[in-house]
Each structure stands twice: as C-alpha cells, then as structure tokens.
C-alpha cells in the first residue's frame, strides 16, 4: 500500500509488516539521463514491491534529495549536507516507528547516501527498529555484470534501467563513454573533477531498454526475497 494515497482511516486499520523508503538524489547524470535518475530507479522498484506485497507493506513517498558531493558543480544538482540528511532520515524512521512499524527497507538509489544510511540504521536500532539497506548496484554487482558488463554513473546499467522505467526522459543522442570510477582516491575538489569530468563513468552508449527489463527483473526478484526475510525476522 502507498502512504501517499492511503487515508488515515485505512492506515489505522492496516497491519503493515514493513515500510519501504526510497532514498535518492537530484544530480547530473551526464547529458543523456535526467537529474532524477537516482529517484526514478528506486521508485520503479518500489512500485513492483507494492504490487507483490499489497497491504503487507507500506511504500513511503521517497526522499528525493541526497548527499551529492561529486556532481554538485553540475547544473541542476542539489547537494544536502550529510548531517542534515542524517537527521531528516532519522526523524522519518522515528515517525514510522511511532506509527507502529518497526521494520524499514531503505531502498537506496544513490552512492553518496550509503554512509549516511548506515549511520541512520544504527541510530534507529537503539530505538527498536530493524533496518535493511539495499543499494542495488553494490548488492547485486556480480549478477548485474552478466547483463550489463559496463557499470558506472550514468553508465551502461543506469542508462538501461532508465530506458525501461522512463524512456521519454533519456536522450541517447547525448550518451557517451566516460572513465571508470576509481576504487580508491584522495578527496579534493581537483580530484573530484577528474573522476567525473563529463558527469559520467562507464559507457552510457551501451545501455538498452532490453537490458533494463532484465536488470529490473534481476534486482526486483532479489529484493522481494530480502523483503520476505525481513518481514519474517524477529
């Protein structure tokens, strides 16, 4: 069930086993993908979760703004400082708990949110909340590479997923190839610009809608299994 379209009366009579909170950001994804890419993907997954579990799961409206350090200089990017994002997410988690739900799946769409989300989950754990964080590109990396060998920011995998979820928002004429994201690097403004000089890592030109369909099936199937385990856990 979606919180956005649920009445207070319906909420009062429901018995939700888990809440799903998509968390993304608004940031540049090269010149071919929309600024809301990191919201479009988790929102699409959340729709599939809601269809599968119905009234057992409460799908929350997503948190659309996140921590966007590496792409903040690009037009349209919105960067929320980590302390502000942390407090906001903790507050949402507490409100979910106050409303009688003590299990939360954080459906993350943006790498810059990872460390904040784990901090949030640890804080909420002291207050009786069980959380699970899924960052799909990390959780299922090996399996994803069988479908889209070239991952990356606005790369083959993300481009394919948005082509499936929101094809009208993709301009493949402006897709291009970028460098690989380094595993380790120093942190500085000059280094930041070297990592994503065109707002892209990986090769967006290789993205296809067919790959996007397969990726969503792969990701959603795994997440549904995780949801079942979470709802059945103590």
Q: pLDDT for 202-216, tens place per residue? A: 899 999 999 999 999
For the cut 90, the answer to whether the pLDDT of residue 96 exceeds it is yes
Other CB atoms closer than 10 Å to residue 126's CB: what's the count?
7
What's the pLDDT tens digit per position in 158-184? Answer: 999 999 999 999 999 999 887 777 676
Q: How many structural domains compose the chain?
A: 1
Beta bridge partners of 225: none
**Which runs of consecutive H residues, i.e. helices, occur in the chain?**
8-13, 37-53, 82-98, 114-125, 136-139, 141-147, 156-165, 189-195, 209-232
Looking at residue 196, its pLDDT comes to 77
Which domain range does residue 135 map to? 3-232
In the chain, % of residues over pLDDT 90: 85
CATH of the domain at 197: 3.40.50.10310
For the cut 90, the answer to whether the pLDDT of residue 36 exceeds it is yes
Which of 35-39, 47-51, 174-178 shows the lowest per-residue confidence on average (mean pLDDT)?
Answer: 174-178
Cβ(198)–Cβ(30) under 8 Å? Answer: yes
């Amino acid at each position: 069930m979606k919180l956005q379209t649920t009445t207070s009366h319906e909420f009062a009579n429901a018995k939700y086993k888990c809440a799903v909170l998509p968390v993304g950001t608004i940031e540049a994804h090269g010149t071919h993908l929309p600024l809301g890419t990191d919201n479009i993907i988790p929102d699409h997954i959340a729709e599939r979760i809601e269809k599968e579990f119905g009234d057992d799961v409460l799908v929350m409206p997503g948190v659309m703004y996140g921590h966007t350090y590496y792409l903040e200089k690009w037009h349209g990017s919105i960067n929320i400082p980590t302390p502000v994002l942390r407090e906001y997410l903790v507050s949402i988690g507490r409100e979910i708990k106050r409303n009688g739900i003590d299990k939360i799946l954080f459906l993350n769409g943006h790498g810059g949110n990872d460390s904040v989300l784990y901090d949030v989950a640890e804080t909420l754990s002291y207050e009786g909340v069980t959380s699970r964080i899924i960052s799909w590109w990390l959780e299922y990396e090996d399996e994803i590479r069988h479908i889209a060998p070239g991952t990356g920011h606005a790369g083959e995998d993300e481009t394919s997923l948005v082509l499936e979820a929101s094809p009208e928002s993709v301009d493949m004429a402006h897709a291009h190839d970028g460098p690989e994201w380094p595993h380790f690097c120093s942190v500085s403004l000059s280094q930041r610009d070297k990592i994503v000089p065109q707002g892209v890592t990986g090769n967006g030109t290789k993205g296809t809608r067919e790959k996007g369909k397969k990726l969503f099936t792969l990701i959603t199937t795994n997440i549904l299994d995780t949801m079942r385990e979470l709802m059945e856990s103590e």
